[in-house]
Chains A and B, each alone.
Chain A
């Protein structure tokens, strides 16, 4: 083994390399997304995932090795959810005034999300493991993984479907809501936060602080309701 091969093996076996790589790749892609004027298709999560994924596959690195380093970033998902208290607090008056539409849209949206997964899974005859793991797909990663485990799903598969859902929602929300002529920032934000959790919320904050706040509200409330509804839905289809 040559010296450079030894160094490569030493670095890629440790946490430092993969943590650094994640931050560097994301920083570059986020800058490119800014240059693309935050076009929804230039979603930083989407492009970071495939770039890093390709590096792992090409270098033959196991995901576990990568995750040992990236865990430091992953861990902050929980604190970031807690931190949504700040925009919520700053906009508490407008949120309180919208309480009735919030509760209505939460109940309908959350049920529609879970119900449509069951219907699509039945149409495409998906394996039960994928269906169960997809039920909490609109809840944020940490929350959804916990729910998935509690109903016998595959938490890792759930995490992937959750992030894919977030990316899909973040990419499609702006054009979709424009076509539907929904201009109310509260409705736009709440819908993208409920359906596409943190990735959608991050996108919503790029558009407008009020949109972002309502996305944060949608994401938090749907995290709660999904935790209640998914076990019910799972017992229904598993029963």
Chain B
């Protein structure tokens, strides 16, 4: 758990340094994701890495974080109690934005994905 968390946080920290120093509009956690992905690629090829970096620990930490991701949104969501006034005053518009534009994005994205994957079918097996 400790090694896993350390590796994940280290990736995010390097992401933070990257975003800060380059002034690029890239979110630090996304840079961290790319770095950790690179780490996994390297790990499965280089056998000389210390054992703790090759152990399943990092995978387990990642698994737990991904599995429990929904929980992590609760504190920010509860923040609604702070902004009840402005939301209540614009309740219809806000509801439309939250419901309609989200549905619209899902539909447009899924249709685009399907359309383009028919033009460019995957080289081998395709899903159901």
Q: Are A101 and B117 in contact (CB under 8 A)?
A: yes
Q: Are B40 and A89 in contact (CB under 8 A)?
A: yes
Q: Are A186 and B113 in contact (CB under 8 A)?
A: yes
**A:27-73 near B, CB below 8 Å:** 30, 44-45, 48-49, 52-53, 56-57, 63, 66-67, 70-71, 73
Q: Are A191 and B109 in contact (CB under 8 A)?
A: yes
Number of A-B contacts (CB under 8 A): 329
* A148, CB-defined interface residue at 8 Å: no
Q: Are A49 and B33 in contact (CB under 8 A)?
A: no
Binary interface encoding of chain B residues 57-90 relative to chain A, with 1 for a CB under 8 A from any of its CBs, else 0 = 0010111011111111111111111110011001
Binary interface encoding of chain A residues 95-113 relative to chain B, with 1 for a CB under 8 A from any of its CBs, else 0 = 0011011101110110011
* A233, CB-defined interface residue at 8 Å: no
Q: Are A45 and B78 in contact (CB under 8 A)?
A: no
Partner of B69, one of A120, A129, A190, A201: A201
A57's nearest neighbour on chain B, judged by CB, is B81
Q: Are A77 and B109 in contact (CB under 8 A)?
A: no
Once bound together, how far apart are the Cα atoms of A82 and B78, in whole Å?
24
Q: Are A22 and B93 in contact (CB under 8 A)?
A: no
Report chain B residues within 8 Å CB of A123.
Answer: 96
Q: Are B93 and A126 in contact (CB under 8 A)?
A: yes
Partner of A78, one of B5, B29, B70, B97: B29
- Which are the 4 A-B pairs with shortest beta-carbon distances? A109-B109, A124-B93, A70-B75, A85-B36
* A residues apposed to B, CB below 8 Å: 22-23, 26, 30, 44-45, 48-49, 52-53, 56-57, 63, 66-67, 70-71, 73-74, 76-89, 92, 94, 97-98, 100-102, 104-106, 108-109, 112-113, 116-117, 120-121, 123-127, 129-130, 134, 137-143, 146-147, 150, 154, 156-157, 159-169, 172-173, 176-177, 180, 182-188, 190-192, 194-196, 198-199, 201-203, 205, 210, 212, 216, 218, 220, 223-224, 227-228, 231
**A and B contact pairs by CB, cutoff 8 A, 23 listed:** A22-B74, A22-B75, A23-B71, A53-B80, A56-B81, A77-B76, A82-B8, A82-B15, A83-B66, A85-B40, A98-B122, A101-B120, A109-B108, A112-B109, A120-B100, A124-B93, A139-B27, A157-B86, A168-B103, A182-B114, A184-B126, A198-B73, A203-B70
Other A-B pairs, 9, CB within 8 Å; known A108-B112, A182-B111: A56-B78, A57-B81, A77-B73, A81-B29, A101-B120, A157-B86, A160-B76, A191-B107, A195-B109
